[in-house]
Structures are given as structure tokens and as C-alpha cells.
Amino acid sequence: MNKLLVVDDEAKIREVIREYAEFSGYEVTEAEDGMNAVGLCKLNDYDLIIMDIMMPKLDGFSAVKEIKKTKNISVIMLSARGEEYDKLHGFDLGIDDYVVKPFSPKELMARINAILIRKSESTYKTPKPMTFNGLEINIAARTVSVDGNKIELTPKEYDLLFYLVENKNIALSRDKLLSDIWGYDFFGDDRTIDTHIKNLRNNLGPYRDYIVTLRGVGYKFEFEK
């Protein structure tokens, strides 16, 4: 049975989510603030966290950042704040989805199911490290090395690079990248992808040109032996 941690300072919202989640077969634990959530994650393992942003003691963003230091747990942000900045900040922290209040509990369950199915499927895949001249990418270990030196990327930069490499030499539109990496509900624009591509290229140094811009379309990772 998958375990969910529902973090929100509004008891009514926690109650609604618990009702739908338990009906769907999930085991649910509640936390009323970010500090409590961090403490629970130190003591227990959860498959997914539903995290509010505006809470007393410790906000949702800070809580996710702290939890991600030690646990690789899927996160859905659930917030009344729907600004693009908040969504981008959340995705940069490594969240899987962002849902704006008011929300449909049935839709939230569908998003939870989708994330956990993808997570379950990925556990059966152990891709081998890939080398492109001096660029080494290990998707299973989530590491990237340039000429033998390990580089640090943001969670979304890792996701973007890995997705491009897994679809090597295939043209990928910005819409597809937004949909598959940021989530189908993300209402960003082309600048979101372009900014992350720019930062990613800077980190890849001499191998930046492996990420090719397709004018009017999007990008692709291009490498031929």
C-alpha cells in the first residue's frame, strides 16, 4: 500500500484529501505545518507528499528543500498561489506537480496515481552510464561529469538533460518538454524551457553544442559516433 503524507494547515483540506485517498487505497498521514512534515519524513518513508506552501513555522518550499536533502520522495505542491514564479521555484526544488486551489479531489487523485505509476515503472529500469566523448551521464545515479569532473545541476536541469539524452537525436518541441518534464498542467511559456537550456549548456561547457536548437520547434540532444 502506497503511503501519502498530506501537509496543510487547514484541517478541512486534509480531511477531504484523506477521504479520497483512503477510498483509493492509500495509507494517509497528516501534518499541519512544514516543520512537522520534516520531522515525520526523518522518521518514516512516504511514497508521495502533498504539500501546501503558506503554513506556520515552516513554509512548503522550505520544507521540501529540507526533505529532499535526505529523501527522494515525490511531491505535489497544493497552493492558492498560482503565479508562474511559484511554480518555477517549486519545480526547481524537484517537485513532480503543482496544483492550484481550489482543486478537484478526483483530479488530484488522478495526478497522484500518474506520478506513482511512473515512479513504479522507473524502478524496473536501470540504464547504464552513457558517455559522449568527455561527457558522462548516469541517469540511475543522477550524476553528470564533464571531462572527469562531476557537475552539480538543479533537479529540473537533471530531468531536462536526462530526457533529452533518452530521446537522443529526436526533435522535441517546447510544448512536449513542458508537458513531460514540468507536468501537463504547467502553464508556462517558452522562456521556461529556454532559460533552463541556457543554464544547462553553461554547465556542460565544451559539450554545450550537443544540445541543438531547432528554430521554431524546440531542441534535441544530437550525437553521432
Are 48 and 74 in contact by the 8 Å Cβ rule? The answer is yes
Predicted confidence at residue 20, as pLDDT, reads 95
Query: Same structural domain for residues 17 and 117?
Result: yes
Predicted confidence at residue 128, as pLDDT, reads 80
Query: Same structural domain for residues 116 and 158?
Result: no
Domain finish residue from 57, 87, 122: 122
How far apart (Å, rounded) are the C-alpha atoms in residues 199 and 91? 15
What is the distance in angstroms between the CA of the first residue and the CA of the last residue of the chain?
A: 45
What range does the domain containing 46 cover? 3-122
Predicted confidence at residue 40, as pLDDT, reads 95
Domain finish residue from 74, 97, 122: 122
Domain finish residue from 96, 122, 148: 122
Q: Indicate the residue type of 199.
A: N
Query: Same structural domain for residues 110 and 192?
Result: no
Predicted confidence at residue 121, as pLDDT, reads 66
How far apart (Å, rounded) are the C-alpha atoms in residues 109 and 124? 23
How far apart (Å, rounded) are the C-alpha atoms in residues 196 and 181? 12
Query: Same structural domain for residues 183 and 153?
Result: yes
Query: Same structural domain for residues 114 and 9?
Result: yes
Query: Same structural domain for residues 8 and 37?
Result: yes
Query: Same structural domain for residues 65 and 117?
Result: yes
Give the total number of structural domains in the chain. Answer: 2
Predicted confidence at residue 190, as pLDDT, reads 60
Are 110 and 86 in contact by the 8 Å Cβ rule? The answer is no
Beta strands in 43-177, from DSSP E residues, in sequence order: 48-51, 74-79, 97-100, 130-132, 135-138, 143-146, 149-151, 172-173
CATH assignment of the domain containing 167: 1.10.10.10
Query: Same structural domain for residues 12 and 114?
Result: yes
Query: Same structural domain for residues 84 and 55?
Result: yes
How far apart (Å, rounded) are the C-alpha atoms in residues 20 and 109? 7
Query: Same structural domain for residues 137 and 174?
Result: yes
pLDDT in tens, 42-59: 999 999 999 999 998 899
Segments in the chain below pLDDT 70: 121-127, 183-190, 225
Query: Same structural domain for residues 8 and 68?
Result: yes
Query: Same structural domain for residues 142 and 43?
Result: no
Q: Indicate the residue type of 186.
A: F
